[in-house]
Amino acid sequence: MRKMLSVRRPVIPCTVAVAVVACLGAAGATAQTGAADGEWGVFGADAGATRYSPLDQIDSDNVGDLAVAWRWSARDQGTPPPSGRTQISPLVINGVMYTTIGNQRNVIALDAATGGTVWDWRPGDSERRWGDMIEPVARSAGRGVSYWTDGEGDERIFVVTPSFQLVALDARTGNRVEGFGVAGVVDMMDDLRWDERPAAERAGRVANTSPPAILGNAIVASISLHTGSIPTRANRPGIRNPNEVWPMNIPGDVVAYDARTGRTLWRFNTVPKEGEFGVDTWLKADDLLWEVPTGTHPWVEERPELLDASWKYTGNVGHWAPVTVDEELGLFYVATETATNDYYGGYRPGDNLFANSILALDAETGERVWHFQVTHHELWDYDFPTAPILVDIEVDGVLVKALVQLSKQGFAYVLDRAT
């Protein structure tokens, strides 16, 4: 078992404002392997999200000579074409480009040389659940797909649907992989803590905004949550009509699935439960006024024990930015978001682990190896919008396996990614 490390960990003395290149340039960055062999096999170019390509065919001398080689139109996906935004980093593997199109997240495979369609897959009604969606969380572009292979001919494309279902497609044909989940689909909604949040609204408040991360046979999908609130008294001055109720939301736990079968491997609770590390950072809100209009919050009368500590009713703490992996250390790196409510913490006193934190999780067990909480008791929506970047840097003559996390604060946090 790995040694569990605690919360306030010293940062490599290289934390800088805005431009991480200032730090890495001074220290001497190395090991940025980036995309290999002219392909782009992972959302961030490589497992460490460096987004680096060593290709040098196009340079300042010939860039002006570039011409369009081919075009592909979303209109080829039917009438009407896929709606909404397409925010993607297409994968290119073995000469085939894989990507999603529109908010529906249709998946297409194109011949990278000609632009010809190899195959396409479109979510059916069961994978879309349009009627359940609530703007804005559910109708997002998803930013693409992920690729997995066992190295022996089994190649799969993974996509997360707008309704938070993980789908495995045969990379060669686009057909759903029958041995994965139920007919190629795993409903990840089922692994969230609905039973612990009686006032949570299931439909449309959970979605995904980044392609899954894969390490070995473990696959982790990012989770994006509607801002939500907690079921306190509804008549907070200046916020809402006294007869309106803000719905509670659930925690955005990190859940890993088997890339072969879809079986749930492990779950890490981003809002700790009783007996778990960090639960003592969610204190009881003694000044709560649970004076609610009759009938609006029946669970308050039915389950008053939920008021004993703020971890029992607080949600969010998802991880909507891409997850990064270190294949050598066997770790997933997860950057989490703010707890409910983004801008008010009176109902959740304490540091609120593991909100606004960088988590290093063992890929085989899901155990926390270390964490670093950037903002204790966050009130400004300063969650992380980017994937952790993995790079080896030289600090005072010593090569350090580093993690660089860019933030909304205008700072780049540089940490030892092993510890």
**pLDDT score, position 343:** 82
Please say if the pLDDT value at position 31 is more than 90: no
DSSP codes joined into one string, 203-238: TTSEE--SPPEEETTEEE--BEE---B--S-S--TT
CA 150, 155, 159, 164 torsion-angle sign: negative
**pLDDT score, position 25:** 45
Domain of residue 49, residue span: 16-53+74-228+252-278+315-416
What is the tally of structural domains in the chain? 1
**pLDDT score, position 69:** 96
**CATH code for the domain in which residue 343 is found:** 2.140.10.10
Q: Which of 224-233, 236-245, 385-394 has the highest mean pLDDT?
A: 385-394
pLDDT tens for 288-343 read 544 555 555 555 566 666 677 888 878 889 999 999 999 999 999 999 999 987 88
Beta strands in 128-221 (DSSP E): 146-149, 155-160, 165-170, 185-187, 206-207, 213-215, 218-220
Q: Is residue 201 part of a domain?
A: yes
Q: How far apart are the first and last CA of the chain?
A: 15
Average pLDDT for 224-248 = 46
DSSP 176: B
Please say if the pLDDT value at position 41 is more than 80: yes
Q: Is residue 62 part of a domain?
A: no
